[in-house]
Amino acid sequence: MPNLYDRYVLPKLIDAACGQPPMTQLRGRYVSQAKGRVLEVGIGSGLNLAHYGADVQHITGIDPAAELTAKAHQRAQKIATPVDVLGLSGESLDLDDNMFDTVVCTWTLCSIANPYRAVQEMRRVLKPAGQLIFVEHGRSDDLTVSRWQRRIEPLWKVIAGGCHLTRRADELLSDGGFKIRQQASGYVPGPKVAAFMIHGIAQIA
Ligand SMILES: C[S@@+](CC[C@H](N)C(=O)[O-])C[C@H]1O[C@@H](n2cnc3c(N)ncnc32)[C@H](O)[C@@H]1O
């Protein structure tokens, strides 16, 4: 059972933090490239929904946090594309193999308890010719910043819903059998420990 902070405060903080203009800009740049049947892992409050384009036929959004997905349900009403929001964990998707043309994962690998399992599941449900769109924050290339990220992470995880500062989406995806086709990284405005973004498009290796 979530405590009062996790139930009432954290969802508002996550929605506000993830809705900041630099993140909205990255959503616009990447989510608009989704096609066909889409799986969004960790749909959260549904901030990506407004960015899907006309090439998307159907969106399945999964997330175990009902406190956040309540808002995703509301946002889903505002777009023409059909959306299903399911209370599943990315670590164990009750979904068939090779079902999706696109998997979208934005600022979610940082928070999944077992990201290796989640990457395996993304690979399993993605069609062989499909694409995985990722936008994540993570361990900085700058040693001074990454040292601070390591120091702060234990406390950060407690106040930020299990979010890790030192994970690297590119490493997790490569280790999990994806080939990264396009990748960029760099800071967005904000505290450097949480502002180093790694984003791109991957496919099954
Ligand atoms: C920082 S929020 C980002 C939400 C959303 N992806 C976005 O771009 O706004 C992290 C999300 O990861 C979700 N999450 C945590 N553990 C998860 C899991 N095991 N499976 C799927 N999503 C998970 C949280 O519930 C939360 O919605």
Reading the chain (205 residues) residue by residue, the pLDDT tens digits are: 678 898 889 999 999 999 999 999 999 999 999 999 999 999 999 999 999 999 999 999 999 999 999 999 999 999 999 999 999 999 999 999 999 999 999 999 999 999 999 999 999 999 999 999 999 999 999 999 999 999 999 999 999 999 999 999 999 999 999 999 999 999 999 999 999 999 999 999 9
pLDDT at 6: 87
Report the C-alpha gap between 129 and 100 in whole angstroms: 10
Query: Residue 105 in contact with residue 125, Cβ under 8 Å?
Result: no
- Strand pairing class (196-204; 178-187): antiparallel
Is the shortest distance between the CB of 95 and ligand 1 below 6 Å?
Answer: no
* pTM summary value: 0.97
Q: For residue 65, give the ligand 1 atom closest to its CA.
A: 25
Kindly list the distances between the CA atom of residue 52 and the CA atoms of 11, 69, 124, 140, 144, in Å, as whole numbers in the listed order: 23, 17, 23, 29, 37
For ligand 1, mutation pick of 12, 14, 108, 164 (most atoms within 8 Å of CB): 108
Strand positions, DSSP E, 30-113: 36-41, 56-62, 83-86, 100-106
- Strand pairing class (126-137; 196-204): antiparallel
Is the shortest distance between the CB of 85 and ligand 1 below 6 Å?
Answer: no
Is the shortest distance between the CB of 65 and ligand 1 below 6 Å?
Answer: yes
CATH superfamily of 4-204: Vaccinia Virus protein VP39 (3.40.50.150)
pLDDT at 86: 98
The token duo for 187 is 């800071």
Give the DSSP letter of residue 8: I
pLDDT at 3: 84
Domains of the chain, residue spans? 4-204
pLDDT at 1: 62
Report how far ligand 1's centroid is from the alpha carbon of 122 (Å).
Answer: 14
Is the shortest distance between the CB of 17 and ligand 1 below 6 Å?
Answer: no
Instruction: Count CA within 13 A, CB hemisphere, residue 40.
Output: 32
Is the shortest distance between the CB of 63 and ligand 1 below 6 Å?
Answer: yes
Is the shortest distance between the CB of 107 and ligand 1 below 6 Å?
Answer: yes
**Around Cβ 166, how many Cβ atoms within 10 Å?**
15
Decide: helix, strand or coil at residue 76.
helix
Query: Residue 46 in contact with residue 61, Cβ under 8 Å?
Result: yes
Alpha helices by DSSP H, listed for the chain, are: 4, 10-18, 21-31, 66-76, 115-125, 143-159, 169-175
